[in-house]
Amino acid sequence: MARPILYDYARSSAAYRIRIALNLKGVDYEQRLVNLLEGEQQGDDYRSVNPQGLVPALEIDGQRLTQSLAIISYLDSRFPMPPLLSTSIVDRAHVTGMALAIACDIHPLNNLRVLRYLTGTLGIDEAAKNAWYAHWITDGFAALEALAAPRAGDFLLDNSPSMADVILVPQMYNARRFNVPLDAFPTLVRTDANACAIEAFANAHPDRQSQGA
């Protein structure tokens, strides 16, 4: 297999997820920086890779994949160990539901293009932007805490990392960047700490990327 190519930006939550998943699967890959702050994702060169102008994109097995959850699902099928999605249809649905609660209901409201629209086009100030950010994380984490707590162990489902943990860790990083209080979410805080103690998660952290955060 040719070495996969990850189109990446250190602080992109979605790209962070794929770094974790690739690390967990033990897949060596090449990183290509797409500088979101400089708008490289909107250029014709990158649009030819991902017409959405978003990171990540992953070139693997002669394919060009987009959307982080779709990429993780592909990686889990392509490299079955360790599994990130259970063979149990109930557990698989539970893990997918928790992952989607972050990836679809929290993250899209708080990503860079939305925040830039709020401050640029709509003209809201920094305090209002931060209040917006904190509101959607707090609202989403409250629901996720309730979903996860009954079946959580060391991780969001039992005692092994799943796709839900891969999605959670970058969102917890973002919450801390914006100083969102997390005391109300003990299950999420505990599982995040357990995940970040694993080398595959730790090495994917934005501060450990060669292109910087």
Q: What is the mean pLDDT of residues 18-32?
A: 97
Query: What domains lie within the chain, and their CATH numbers?
Result: 5-82 (3.40.30.10), 89-200 (1.20.1050.10)
Q: What is the tens place of the pLDDT at every residue in 55-91?
A: 999 999 999 999 999 999 999 999 999 999 999 999 9
Region 198-211: mean pLDDT is 93
What secondary structure does DSSP assign to 145-184, as a single string? Answer: HHHHTTTBSSSSSBTS--HHHHHHHHHHHHHHHTT---TT
Does residue 213 surpass a pLDDT of 80?
no
Q: Cis ω on the peptide bond leading into residue 56 (within 30° of 0)? A: yes
What count of other Cβ atoms lies within 10 Å of the Cβ of residue 11? Answer: 19
Residue with tokens 């939305």: 114
Q: Is the peptide bond before 82 cis (omega within 30 degrees of 0)?
A: yes
Question: Nearest-5° angle of CA 73, CA 79, CA 85?
Answer: 40
What are the residue ranges of helices labelled H in the chain? 13-25, 44-47, 68-78, 89-103, 107-110, 112-116, 126-148, 163-177, 186-196, 199-202
Output the pTM of the full model: 0.95
Residue by residue, DSSP assigns 176-206 as HHTT---TT-HHHHHHHHHHHTSHHHHTTSG
- Give pLDDT tens digits for 146-181: 999 999 999 999 999 999 999 999 999 999 999 999
Radius of gyration of the chain (CA): 17
